[in-house]
A and B are shown apart, each in its own frame.
Chain A
Amino acid sequence: MLSRVADNLYWMSRYLERAEHTARLLDVQLGLILESGHEPGDGRWLRLVQCLGITAKPPSEGGPSRLIHWLAFDPASRSSIVTAIGVARENARQVREMISSEMWEQVNRMYHDARAISSGGYQDRDPQDFLREVITGCHLFRGLLAATMNHGEGWQFIRLGRHIERAGLVSTLLDVHFREFLPDGSSGIDPADHLEWIGLLKSCTAFEAYCKVYTAELGAGKIAEFLLLNREFPHSVRYAVDSIQRGLEALPEGASSQGSNRLHRLAGRLQASLSFSQMDEILADGLSAYLADVQRQCIQIHHVLHQVYIDYPIETAIEA
């Protein structure tokens, strides 16, 4: 597979994951406002910006509606859902002969729908309609991916992109949420924040799955354990890292065998940490530090993946 193509598939997938995650978080927050009553000021929305790991500066004037616009519909904002879908589609467009026509048509349709909405079509519509369309659209795309594309190398790069993005997004969300609602590291949940903790689970489509494991009784430690260490839940950090590990194993050896070894070592180390760590120990040593370490390792895997398969120097490849 061409290195450039692998790169496009990888980024297409990362941006779609990001679009879906942003849409879900916004949807959950809009739902929370309905249930818990209006919270004055921008606090909730500025926290959401942090939860999404956005480093760009959000608009300081215009209040909540301006922030929602900036996160969802604003084509000029690099962090908006519309932009993420646009970038995903631009990457797909460059490799459209490598993905199935069904996949291309789906991402192209999402792009045209999003553009129609961002150019003014949403004022008279419930923004949650649009957010749910994005989420459903991403699900449909993944279904088409599973059903219509060869599960070969390109497919692995798409999965790697999704899971590397997801591991980063979920760990960032967990970190910001725990620092806000459990600043002293205790394990008790303030009953006033009950809905916010349900919101955290719903932001990862995890509420029902959590209840099946722990019942509807909410505990901060259990929630952290479920979203970080659960082996079977597809939005947990561990599940994402297991998938990264499996994806890397399925890839052919890259242009330099030395680099390939390093990549496997990095992914193996992170996977081992998530597989064998105890939640009480992580909490005792500081959840935030642990999550920061997970994020750092994901970024490292991303860089080495690129060095091995995409940006390798010609000289090493010709000697080999």
Chain B
Amino acid sequence: MSTAPIRGLQMQTTSPFTGYLLGSSYDEMFSAAGVPRAHYSALHRHLIDLPDEQMRRRKSVADQSFLHQGITFTVYGRDEGTERIFPHDLVPRIITSNEWSRVEKGLEQRIRALNEFLKDIYHEGRILNDNVVPREMVYSCRHFRREMRGLDVPRGIYITVVGTDLIRLPSGEFVVLEDNLRVPSGVSYMLTSRQVMKRVFPEWFRQTQVRPIEHYPHALLSTLRSLSPEGRTDPTIVLLSPGVFNSAYFEHAFLARQMGIQLVEGRDLVVNDNILYMRTTTGLERVDVIYRRVDDDFIDPLAFRSDSILGVPGVFNAYRSGNVTLANAIGTGVADDKALYAYVPRIIRYYLNEDPIIDNVETFLMTDDKERSHVLSNLEQFVVKAVGESGGYGMLIGPHSTAAERGEFRERIQADPRNYIAQPTIQLSTAPCFIDGAIEPRHIDLRPYILFGEKVTIVPGGLTRVALKKGSLVVNSSQGGGSKDTWVVNE
């Protein structure tokens, strides 16, 4: 005990921000070295006042809480420790409500336009006839589903749940990096990380007006309910998961529990006479809406991949007959194809007759001869992505690549230009993170979650993902990324 005052004294003399170096990126906390932005100043002061030991203790309380609650994800391709806690950083990321309201409007605009696009290409295809989007770009997409042609989905809504990846340019402006329109995940980390933060730092929440996000599960349930098939007034809604070995299983169980709906697997469901049932202890019970977390390819072995054991034979026909709703609809992946992404601003203008509120990142299509040769001769400056991949797989980050890797990608691009796009390397914004007892900047992005049913609902904030490796620009959890709590606060 006698050493305590001395340690306390040391803490007051060294700020945890001593080693904090600002780079060329936009920094969320500092406008200049040592000068915090107005909405960060209270947190900045807290962090300086908080003894190092307190911070470490709270970090370990938070980690224990994640482990005991089983908030884990699975890393594929490793035997030992396949289940790991989701790395979590304790320093919250703050967005002002002014910034947020612009983001919110921009996301709603984008979602409405993309939904119109899906409805159009699976019906008359006006945008293709008008040559705004090249026909072959749509038809050559791996996620385009011919089976959806002419099918009317409930309320005309294809994309019920969307997670859009935003990044901040060095200017401070938010831009869209990627739309995730198939089965976006991560929302459970947003919700649980808030729960844990409230437990670990209650005093921060007492002093700051953080806009709540806890209503997300209820909003999701209402959204799903609004999409039930015609005439089914008290619908039975289920969440379809690939099962306990899926990397996002924790999330599936978490959301099902929060919504009070059944978590089902393919083997729990059976189709008879185009009606979908689940097997219960008292017999078969009819199902009306499926919030599915199984990819298109695997959802019905009769309609899509016949080797799938995760799906439900016959569910696609039940869907076509209008007896059950799938959310998201089948075939939405065509609109988050990374090559089609380049056309989204044009898609927004075409359907809504508005300018995009949130911009795209400049994107070069490898199918275009001029753009391709420009990228190929400056490969070390670009990020190259395979259009069908997600989760940070199949990427080349030019400035961090070796000559051999660039050579390999050059060949791959030339062999299959439709499969690749290139974007200039963007310095994602940085935010302060608690790393080994000090506070250091790390690159982050932002994934807000958008719900689209009767109306569009976006909970304030979203999941902030962190590239925990120093200097890394890859935030995906499968590639060593973590998360932090995201606060939208009034200025």
Contacts and interface: CB of A to CB of B under 8 A. Distances in A.
B458 to A, nearest CB: 25
A112 B66 CA distance: 13
Interface string B237-281: 000000110000100011011000011110110101000001111
B18 interface: no
A213 interface: no
B254 A2 contact: no
A112 B67 contact: yes
A90 B280 CA distance: 21
Contact of B244 (A94, A252, A318): A94
Interface of A: 1-4, 6, 90, 93-94, 96-98, 101, 104-105, 108-109, 112, 153, 251-255, 309-310, 312, 314, 317-318, 320
Contact of A153 (B67, B68, B265, B281): B281
A251 B281 contact: yes
A104 to B, nearest CB: 7
Given A93-B249, A98-B257, A317-B279, 4 more contacts: A3-B279, A93-B70, A312-B279, A314-B270
Nearest to A256: B283
A97 B254 contact: yes
B68 A108 contact: yes
Contact of B263 (A6, A97, A112): A97
Given A93-B244, A94-B244, A97-B254, A105 B281 contact: no
A97 B253 contact: yes
Chain A interface helix/strand/loop/mixed: helix
Ranked 4 nearest A-B pairs via Cβ: A97-B257, A255-B283, A309-B281, A97-B256
Contacts, number: 72
B285 to A, nearest CB: 9
A60 to B, nearest CB: 29
B282 interface: yes
B268 A2 contact: yes
Given A104-B70, A314-B272, A96 B257 contact: yes
Nearest to A106: B68
A253 B70 contact: no
B268 A320 contact: no
B70 A252 contact: no
Contacts of A94: 243-244
Contacts of B243: 94
A254 B281 contact: yes
A2 B279 CA distance: 6
Nearest to A89: B70
A3 B70 contact: no
B264 A2 contact: yes
Given A93-B244, A101-B69, A105-B69, A1 B280 contact: yes
A97 B278 CA distance: 17
Interface in B280-310: 280-284
